Structure 1
Amino acid sequence: MAEQKVLLITGAARGMGMDIAKAALAAGYAVVATGRDPQKVSQAVGDAGDLLTVRLDVTDPASAQAAVRAAVDRFGHVDVLVNNAGNFYAGFFEELTDEDFRAQVETNLFGPLNVTRAVLPVMRAQRSGLVVSISSVAGFVGAEFTSAYAAAKFGLEGWMESLAPEVAPFGIRTMLVEPGFFRTELLSAESTRYAEPTIDDYIERTKQTVTMWSGMNGRQGGDPARLAGALIQLVGSDDLPVRWAAGADAVAALEQKAKTLLAQADAYRELSSSLAHTGA
């Protein structure tokens, strides 16, 4: 009988993380479900013999190391890491405080870095593993009111692309997941923090944007449970995409971005191609 695979996921107390943990358990994985409050994680995911709930603050490297040690102590190995924990600091750049911008990057970029750094020695020793990071359409398409979030997600994508060839020789694979709008709790008051309006020029647009996003909460088109099931299906396959655009809106956005990049590359092709040294 093949050894049971072990999946460690961050941010499992609610939303997409909870659904992924449940889908992994249903597929036969042993799951290490983590969050800042293990009791909330247990309440969200439920009881299972192959479930370990562990406290993990992704912004704390020592907490990440402790969570990985707990996983190895219980199950002996870690086969899949899902970097899912995140939050959303929204607002126009000039109104986002430096503290909030840094906090956004700390959670959504340095959080995955901390947990992955703790897991990689385990995966290298076993010469196998998979690192999955939940990004976003905002990881490849910037938009107003999302400068902090997009900065963190763009950084996440660049880091994951660069990490992939570094760890591939050790049998470790990577995958980016880029969801569109799913009916998670990202736009809820618990996950989203809006910048305090301080500049008259932005006040009306801020009101309109906050009203629109607040009205969208709980009405997004994507089903996170279906995403979780599809993700676990992909995780168990040999043909793993480097990027997975999750949702029809994400596929459309990725296609449009590709077209935009090609058009930008072509726009000044002659000028761009005339910059070589001409002398000795």
Structure 2
Amino acid sequence: MKTQKVILVTGASKGFGLEIAKTALAAGDKVIATVRSKADELAASLNNNPNLLVVTMDVTNEEQVKAAVEEGVAYFGNVDVLINNAGYGIVTAIEEATDAETKAQYATNVFGLLNVTRAVLPHLRAQKSGHIINISSLFGYDAYPGWALYGSTKFAVEGISKGLALELAPLGIKVTAAAPGLFSTDFLSAESYTAGKNIIEDYATTVGPMRAGADQLHGNQPGDPKKLAQVLVDLAHNENPPLHLPIGKDAAGMFKANSEKVNKEVDQWLAVSTSTDHDHVTTN
């Protein structure tokens, strides 16, 4: 018989977060859903489910994060699974991105994730169990022009997840970096991603198509967000979850293609890479 979990999911007002909350509730789990505003509206849209607590929380506000996590733990008694889902994208060339745009992107996608993780971990450590699922992206496996700044935040999420997994394994806490491909959420809607304000014409051939293509792709992505939500809720109940989980054929394909590309390049330059030891150093 499946054990009921208390799942905390950030960014639950729409997209993946909303679908995860719906799916978890349907599975009989308890859900702490965080939103930046209009908590009552989300609760009402989910029929004020008794297994649901909606809390107001901006992941970039550390004190608000701590208070929201404590409210959720007090309400349900504990937390078993954290799904760090809150985030947004920006389409811009690296050079085009302003300091403010860059810091805002990292404030939510990286530092916000860390704020929530730090607030939840004392509870997971106390019970010597739990699972942290960090939502990464296929853009965290390889770079695309125009999406490289956003992708760099997901590279950071991948690295943070790998480090956390090593640090938390002795404490009975699992970590997964789940990397969705392109899914038909509102991620590419005007409310969910931003376009850099500064445009440099020299990037028209590389970044330009990405600026135009985002609107055209919106609503035509191959992935079904309901199926992704089911994968993640099932994952939350898995006793032996993976550290890396690409979700979608495009994400799995990008992971494999990038691994092959990097391996080929390393092999090609291996003689140079291994030529830098002191002459007296010998290797077995």
Query: TM-score interval w.r.t. the shorter chain?
Result: over 0.9
Contact 1:89 1:104 in 2 (8 A): yes
Structure-2 change in CA distance of 1:205 and 1:151 (3 Å): closer
Give the residue type in structure 2 aligned to 1:68: V
Name the stretch that deviates more: 227-236 or 192-201: 192-201
User: What corresponds to 1:21 in structure 2?
Assistant: 21
Contact 1:13 1:42 in 2 (8 A): no
Name the stretch that deviates more: 88-97 or 52-61: 88-97
User: What corresponds to 1:278 in structure 2?
Assistant: 279
Alpha-carbon RMSD across the aligned residues, in angstroms, is 1.7
Aligned-residue offset at 1:55: 0.5
1:206-243 Cα deviation digits (max 9, x unpaired): 54322211010011010000110111112211221111
Structure 2 CA distance, aligned partners of 1:206 and 1:142?
12
Structure 2 CA distance, aligned partners of 1:224 and 1:239?
23
User: What corresponds to 2:73 in structure 1?
Assistant: 72
Structure 2 CA distance, aligned partners of 1:85 and 1:118?
15
Structure 1 CA distance, aligned partners of 2:209 and 2:133?
35
User: What corresponds to 1:239 in structure 2?
Assistant: 240
Structure-2 change in CA distance of 1:146 and 1:134 (3 Å): same
Structure 2 CA distance, aligned partners of 1:202 and 1:49?
51
Structure-2 change in CA distance of 1:65 and 1:220 (3 Å): same
Listed as ranges, the matches of 1:20-169 within 5 Å are 20-37=20-37, 38-169=39-170
User: What corresponds to 2:196 in structure 1?
Assistant: 195
Name the stretch that deviates more: 202-211 or 252-261: 202-211
Structure 1 CA distance, aligned partners of 2:45 and 2:249?
28
1:11-58 Cα deviation digits (max 9, x unpaired): 000001000011111111110011101134325544211100000100
Give the residue type in structure 1 aligned to 2:218: N
Q: Please give the secondary structure, in 2, of the residue aligned with 1:58.
A: coil
TM-score (norm 2): 0.94
Aligned-residue offset at 1:196: 2.0
1:66-100 Cα deviation digits (max 9, x unpaired): 11101111011000000000011211122211100
User: What corresponds to 2:229 in structure 1?
Assistant: 228
Structure 2 CA distance, aligned partners of 1:197 and 1:110?
24
Q: How many residues align?
A: 280
Name the stretch that deviates more: 238-247 or 2-11: 2-11
Q: Give the percent of matched residue pairs that are identical in Structure 1 and Structure 2.
A: 40
Structure-2 change in CA distance of 1:43 and 1:147 (3 Å): farther
Name the stretch that deviates more: 203-212 or 44-53: 203-212
Gaps of 5+ in 2: none
TM-score (norm 1): 0.95
Gaps of 5+ in 1: none
Structure 2 CA distance, aligned partners of 1:121 and 1:91?
37
Contact 1:197 1:206 in 2 (8 A): no
